[in-house]
């Protein structure tokens, strides 16, 4: 087997891995979205009296919505940053494993393997897209709890135990 055919096979393998990770990531994104929604609903429930106080001193519905959407956006931002960090670490790990596999298959010297280009690369645009997308998804899933919080009656909210 030539080096070119081995690199092609490894590249094909990583394309399949990429599709599998995309599917897993999509499912994880939906689950995380519902987790954010649940967290925000619990936040609304725990802060019902605070919402009542805010509304009784003049806060409008849009202000309550903005507070809860900002909280959702921060959750998405921190989650996106953590996801990017883990993605970069995972990509670097896959590159190391691929280079070791290539070295063992071809009996190539270690210094030659170290000179090979990375098999997986994460472009800057993808990192920025992932960060923006995580914030957008968290805001989308935080919209229902924010609207629910804004519809609370000040009198009922202040009576809530």
**Range of the structural domain that residue 106 is part of:** 3-159
What's the whole-model pTM score? Answer: 0.78
| pLDDT for the residue 95 | 86
For residue 148, the model assigns a pLDDT of: 95
Distance separating alpha carbons of residues 149 and 48, to the nearest angstrom? 8
Tell me the average confidence (pLDDT) per consecutive run of 10 residues in the chain, 161 residues long.
76 87 89 94 93 93 96 95 94 86 78 78 92 95 96 86 69
Name the domain count of the chain.
1
159, 53 in Cβ contact below 8 A? Answer: no
Q: Each residue of 1-37: b (16+ CB within 10 Å) or e?
A: eeeeeebeebeeebeeeeeeeeeeeeeeeeebbeebb
């Amino acid at each position: 087997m030539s080096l070119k055919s081995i690199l092609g096979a490894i590249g094909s393998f990583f394309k399949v891995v990429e599709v599998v990770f995309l599917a897993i990531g999509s499912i994880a994104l939906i689950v995380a979205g519902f987790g954010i929604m649940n967290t925000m609903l619990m936040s609304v429930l725990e802060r019902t009296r605070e919402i009542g106080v805010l509304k009784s001193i003049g806060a409008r519905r849009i202000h309550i919505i903005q507070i809860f959407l900002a909280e959702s956006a921060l959750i998405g931002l921190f989650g996106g940053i953590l996801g990017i960090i883990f993605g970069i670490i995972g990509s670097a790990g896959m590159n190391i494993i691929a280079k070791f596999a290539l070295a063992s298959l071809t009996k190539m010297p270690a210094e030659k393997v170290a000179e090979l280009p990375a098999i997986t690369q994460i472009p800057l645009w993808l990192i920025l897209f992932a960060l923006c997308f995580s914030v957008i998804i968290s805001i989308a899933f935080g919209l229902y709890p924010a609207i629910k919080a804004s519809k609370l009656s000040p009198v009922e909210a202040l009576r809530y135990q």
